[in-house]
Amino acid sequence: MHRTAPRLARILACAAVPVMLVASGCSSDSDGKPKAEKSQKSEKTDKAGSSGGAALATPESEKKPAVAPVKFTKLPEACRSLKPKTIEKLVPSTKAKAGTPGRSTDLLTRGSCSWNGLDDNGVKGSQYRWLDVSFLRFESDAALGTSGKQRAQEAYTKEVAKNRATTGAKNVKAAPSAGVGEEATALSYQLRKTGEDFSYVTIVTRTDNILITLTYNGTGYAGAKPPAVADLLKDAVPAVKETVTSVTAANK
pLDDT for the residue numbered 122: 82
Of the listed ranges 34-38, 97-101, 188-192, 230-234, the least confidently predicted one is 34-38
The model's confidence at residue 53, banded by pLDDT at 50, 70 and 90, is very low
Strand positions, DSSP E, the chain = 100-101, 110-120, 126-137, 170-176, 183-193, 196-207, 210-221
For the segment 127-166, what is each residue's pLDDT rounded down to a tens digit? Answer: 999 999 999 999 999 998 999 999 999 999 999 999 999 9
Looking at per-residue confidence, does 182 or 67 come out higher? Answer: 182
Across the range 40-50, mean pLDDT stands at: 49
Distance of CA 7 to the CA centre of its chain: 98
Return the CATH number of 78-250, one of 3.40.50, 3.40.1000, 1.10.3470, 2.30.30.
Answer: 3.40.1000
The model's confidence at residue 66, banded by pLDDT at 50, 70 and 90, is confident
Give which of 100, 134, 125 is closest to 196, Cα–Cα.
Answer: 125
Rg (Cα) of the chain, in Å, rounded?
41
Say whether pLDDT at 227 is over 70.
Answer: yes
**Polymer length in residues for the chain:** 252
> For the purposes of burial, counting CB atoms within 10 Å of the CB of 177, is it exposed (0-12), middle (13-18) or buried (19 or more)?
buried
- The answer to whether 78 and 135 have CB atoms below 8 angstroms apart is yes
Looking at per-residue confidence, does 160 or 27 come out higher? Answer: 160
Say whether pLDDT at 26 is over 50.
Answer: no
- Alpha-carbon separation of residue 42 from 29, 51, 54, 55, 239 (angstroms): 14, 14, 18, 20, 77
- The pairing of strands 210-221 and 196-207 is antiparallel
Looking at per-residue confidence, does 117 or 35 come out higher? Answer: 117
Say whether pLDDT at 20 is over 50.
Answer: no
Residue 233's Cβ-side half-sphere holds a number of Cα atoms within 13 Å equal to 18
Angle (nearest 5°) at CA 83 between 82 and 87: 80
DSSP, collapsed to helix, strand or coil, labels residue 134 as strand
Domain boundaries, the chain: 4-57, 78-250
Give which of 73, 75, 213 is closest to 140, Cα–Cα.
Answer: 73
- Rounded to a whole number of angstroms, the distance between the first and last alpha carbons of the chain is 120
Per the prediction, the chain carries an average pLDDT of: 83
- The answer to whether 126 and 93 have CB atoms below 8 angstroms apart is no
* DSSP type of residue 91: S
For the segment 157-209, what is each residue's pLDDT rounded down to a tens digit? Answer: 999 999 999 999 999 999 999 999 999 999 999 999 989 999 999 999 999 99
DSSP, collapsed to helix, strand or coil, labels residue 206 as strand
Q: What is the pTM of this model?
A: 0.74
- The answer to whether 183 and 205 have CB atoms below 8 angstroms apart is yes
pLDDT for the residue numbered 21: 38
